[in-house]
């Protein structure tokens, strides 16, 4: 665990060590027999912990009837809070937490599910109650704060969910936008069905992702009108901000000078980034342990259905692996996104989310953690063949394509010694859900992005770079890569948490540029811009509010052009990191340009000046 605060604080002065006095912000609640919190108050306090208990210890004492009276009373409180939760209609999904067991050499011996009992749920319900009181407290006093917001599901997702359920004879109650209680009621009704895992996954995927925001929209999943994170101020920054707001209210002051909107976006992004990092490490460890099982046969459950195959989670090891569509037999499989299914056109064989499968483990690549994906369209496939033929696993071409472009592609594949198969158009449609593939689809290993600025800029004189802040649309990214390559830019840089990755759609729009132009996704964009400055690269932002135009400004040859997303523009920290801001003069009625068009204007102006 990497603590948010220095270790002397997180594990010492601010940690609830036994028999030590610690300063605290107390939330004292009165809980009625019904489970409703009838009254509460916040005040600074000193707490002295008597013991550090584990969930296992607590559950053994509670279930063995040997717990002290205070713990028994707390367990009774938990029971009425849980009943109140059910009456409120909060959604309660069943999840499986896993734990890695290591041997004496530090290798993973096995991966086991964590037992689920009432001890962790007891703490969870108490924390939920305190979080709600904190949210109500700051809301009643009109003080800004970061709420934990879980918005209502979109009408489109609800409509798709209801269509899926209708085929199974099921119905999600409620109106156009259902209530949390409607979800909870359906979950309770289907809990004993054999396809419960499938249905629960579909219900979960219909919901939005929770985030931090100063705009209180309530928490749909927990069925709360106002909800914040209050209970972990040494582990989560939003909780620390809530404590500061509460202290300000208690002192009859305001905690001002805070960009709450910006902090909400930042905390939401860093939360997702931390989750991704945890998953990456866990997946690496799992891949490492699975090397010894190559060639083995395992039972598993389909946990993902995509146009190019199935993701299967193995029962014994809780590891995900890809079964590519080409391994499913000689049938032509159509991808049905709405039903989360691959359907064999000739045999009628279907593979659905949550179906059971027996699979064989054939390969593990822990060094690059490679994943297969598809590239489609003649430009993109030919570009990959020329730039990195070793990464092309196989090519599928429409059996009717005997024109010049088709013959050129066949010849290029033969020269690169890449397997090529002629297949019906419908099979190509199945690879990408009916996408416009132009009659050619290649299965490729994901291109490894540049790992660092050092690697990216090694030996480069006067770099010309394009930095994209918040460009999440795949078509815009593809067009920007194409423009950057055409203008001679050395690389495109984007933040991991606010950018599209290289997908088949990006590759197709980029017309080969995605394979030829380095694309670096960085963890902290502001820090990356600071590193570029240290290399004497000017950071110039295109901003419609800038005083000077592009053509009035003196711009060095070594430059990183920064563009923001359409409508939003650059984030505040990105804007403040720029050495210079310029605008593209608009002569007509329109007020702005598409980001890829703007990228073309500024990059080709730099290219013109370099050539002058």
Does residue 389 sit in the same domain as residue 432? Answer: yes
The answer to whether residue 285 sits within a structural domain is: no
Does residue 130 sit in the same domain as residue 161? Answer: no
pLDDT at 505 over 80: no
Average pLDDT over residues 177-201: 88
Q: How far from the centroid of its chain's Cα atoms is residue 462's Cα?
A: 35
Of residues 358 and 502, more confidence is placed in: 358
The answer to whether residue 308 sits within a structural domain is: yes
Tell me the pLDDT band of 201, cut-offs 50, 70 and 90.
confident
pLDDT at 371 over 50: no
Tell me the DSSP string of 81-107: HHHHHHHHT--------EEEEE-TTS-
The pTM is what? Answer: 0.64
Average pLDDT value over all residues in the chain:
87
Does residue 411 sit in the same domain as residue 465? Answer: no
Please give the Cα distance from 214 to 223 (Å, whole number): 18
Does residue 108 sit in the same domain as residue 40? Answer: yes
Q: Identify the pLDDT of residue 365.
A: 64
Residue pLDDT, tens place only, 410-466: 999 999 888 888 887 776 776 654 456 788 888 877 554 555 677 777 778 889 999
Residue pLDDT, tens place only, 234-271: 999 999 999 999 999 999 999 999 999 999 988 998 88
Residue pLDDT, tens place only, 127-153: 999 999 999 999 999 999 999 999 999
Does residue 88 sit in the same domain as residue 228? Answer: yes
The answer to whether residue 284 sits within a structural domain is: no
Phi, psi (deg, nearest 5) at residue 598: -60, -40
Tell me the pLDDT band of 331, cut-offs 50, 70 and 90.
confident
Quick check: 204 and 303 in contact, CB under 8 A? Answer: no
Please give the Cα distance from 63 to 61 (Å, whole number): 6
Of residues 186 and 381, more confidence is placed in: 186
**CATH code of the domain covering residue 316:** 2.40.50.140
Those residues with Cβ within 8 angstroms of residue 334's Cβ, 6 or more apart along the chain or in another chain: 342, 343, 345, 426, 429, 430
Could you tell me if residue 550 is left (phi over 0), alpha (psi between -120 and 50 degrees) or otherwise beta?
alpha
When mean pLDDT is compared across 68-77, 249-258, 326-335, 592-601, the lowest value belongs to 326-335
Could you tell me if residue 62 is left (phi over 0), alpha (psi between -120 and 50 degrees) or otherwise beta?
alpha
Does residue 579 sit in the same domain as residue 524? Answer: yes
Does residue 129 sit in the same domain as residue 251? Answer: yes
Locate 87 and state its tokens: 């009456």
Q: Give me the number of domains the chain comprises.
A: 5
Average pLDDT over residues 271-277: 83
Tell me the DSSP string of 58-73: HHHHHHTT---HHHHH
* Among 410, 445, 480, residue at a domain's last position: 445
Tell me the pLDDT band of 288, cut-offs 50, 70 and 90.
confident
Tell me the pLDDT band of 369, cut-offs 50, 70 and 90.
very low
The answer to whether residue 289 sits within a structural domain is: no
Please give the Cα distance from 197 to 203 (Å, whole number): 10
Average pLDDT over residues 34-50: 95
The answer to whether residue 302 sits within a structural domain is: yes
Parent domain of 95: 7-149+212-277
Does residue 162 sit in the same domain as residue 236? Answer: no
Does residue 404 sit in the same domain as residue 322? Answer: no
Q: Identify the pLDDT of residue 522.
A: 86
Please give the Cα distance from 572 to 275 (Å, whole number): 24
- Per DSSP, the three-state class of 233 is coil
Strand partners, 24: 45
Helices (H) and strands (E) in the chain, counts: 19, 23
**CATH code of the domain covering residue 600:** 3.40.1280.10
Does residue 127 sit in the same domain as residue 160? Answer: no
Does residue 414 sit in the same domain as residue 494? Answer: no
Strand partners, 21: 48
The answer to whether residue 273 sits within a structural domain is: yes
pLDDT at 316 over 70: yes
Average pLDDT over residues 513-529: 85
Residue pLDDT, tens place only, 332-347: 788 887 788 898 888 8
Please give the Cα distance from 609 to 8 (Å, whole number): 54
The answer to whether residue 105 sits within a structural domain is: yes
* Among 420, 445, 470, residue at a domain's last position: 445
With residue 305 as reference, give the H or E element that holds it. strand 297-306
Does residue 103 sit in the same domain as residue 216? Answer: yes
Q: Identify the pLDDT of residue 584.
A: 93
The answer to whether residue 286 sits within a structural domain is: no
């Amino acid at each position: 665990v990497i603590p948010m605060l220095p270790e002397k604080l997180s594990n010492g002065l601010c940690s609830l060590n036994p028999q030590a006095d610690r300063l605290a912000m107390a939330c004292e609640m009165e809980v009625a027999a019904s489970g409703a919190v009838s009254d509460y108050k916040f005040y600074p306090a000193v707490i002295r912990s008597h013991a550090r208990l584990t969930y296992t210890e607590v559950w053994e004492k509670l279930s063995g009837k040997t717990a002290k009276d205070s713990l028994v009373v707390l367990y009774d409180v938990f029971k009425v809070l849980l009943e109140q939760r059910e009456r409120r209609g909060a959604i309660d999904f069943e999840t499986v937490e896993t734990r890695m067991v290591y041997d004496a050499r530090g290798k993973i011996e096995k991966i086991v599910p964590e037992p689920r009992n009432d001890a962790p749920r007891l703490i969870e319900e108490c924390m939920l109650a305190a979080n709600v009181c904190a949210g109500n407290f700051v809301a009643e006093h009109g003080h800004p704060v970061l709420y934990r917001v879980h918005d209502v599901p979109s009408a489109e997702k609800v409509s798709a969910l209801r269509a899926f359920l209708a085929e199974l004879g099921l119905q999600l109650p409620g109106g156009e936008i259902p209530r949390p209680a409607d979800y909870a009621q359906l979950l309770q009704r289907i809990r004993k069905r054999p396809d419960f895992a499938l249905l629960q996954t579909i219900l979960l995927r219909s919901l939005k992702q929770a985030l931090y925001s100063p705009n209180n929209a309530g928490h749909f999943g927990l069925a709360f009108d106002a909800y914040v994170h209050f209970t972990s101020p040494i582990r989560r920054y939003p909780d620390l901000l809530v404590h500061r707001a509460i202290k300000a209210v208690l002192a009859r002051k305001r905690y001002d000078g805070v960009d709450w909107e910006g902090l909400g976006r930042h905390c939401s992004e860093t939360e997702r980034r931390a989750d991704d990092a945890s998953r990456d490490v866990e997946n690496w460890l799992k891949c490492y342990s699975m090397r010894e099982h190559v060639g083995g046969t395992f039972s598993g459950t389909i946990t993902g259905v995509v146009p190019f195959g199935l993701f299967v989670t193995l029962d014994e090891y809780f590891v995900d692996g890809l079964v590519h569509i080409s391994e499913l037999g000689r049938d032509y499989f159509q991808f049905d996104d709405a039903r989360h299914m691959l359907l064999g056109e000739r045999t009628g064989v279907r593979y659905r989310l949550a179906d059971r499968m027996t699979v064989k483990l054939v390969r593990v690549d822990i060094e690059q953690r490679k994943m297969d994906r598809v590239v489609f369209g003649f430009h993109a496939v030919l570009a990959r063949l020329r730039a990195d033929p070793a990464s092309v696993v196989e090519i599928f071409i429409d059996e009717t394509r005997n024109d010049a472009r088709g013959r050129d592609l066949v010849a290029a594949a033969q020269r690169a010694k890449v397997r090529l198969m002629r297949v019906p158009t419908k099979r190509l449609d199945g690879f990408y859900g009916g996408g416009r593939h132009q009659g050619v689809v290649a299965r490729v290993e994901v291109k490894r992005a540049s790992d660092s600025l050092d690697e990216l800029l090694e030996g480069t004189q006067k770099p010309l770079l394009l930095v994209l802040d918040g460009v999440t649309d795949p078509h815009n990214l593809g067009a920007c890569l194409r423009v950057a390559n055409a203008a001679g830019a050395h690389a495109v840089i984007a933040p991991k948490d606010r950018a599209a990755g290289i997908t088949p759609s990006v590759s197709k729009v980029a017309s080969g540029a995605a394979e030829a132009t380095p694309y670096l996704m960085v963890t902290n964009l502001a820090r990356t811009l600071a590193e570029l400055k240290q290399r004497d690269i000017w950071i110039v932002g295109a901003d419609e509010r800038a005083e000077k135009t592009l053509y009035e400004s003196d711009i060095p040859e070594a430059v990183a052009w920064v563009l923001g997303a359409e409508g939003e523009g650059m984030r505040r920290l990105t804007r403040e990191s720029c050495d210079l801001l310029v605008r593209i003069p608009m002569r007509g009625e329109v007020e702005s340009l598409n980001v890829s068009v703007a990228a073309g204007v500024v990059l080709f102006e730099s290219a013109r000046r370099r050539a002058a």
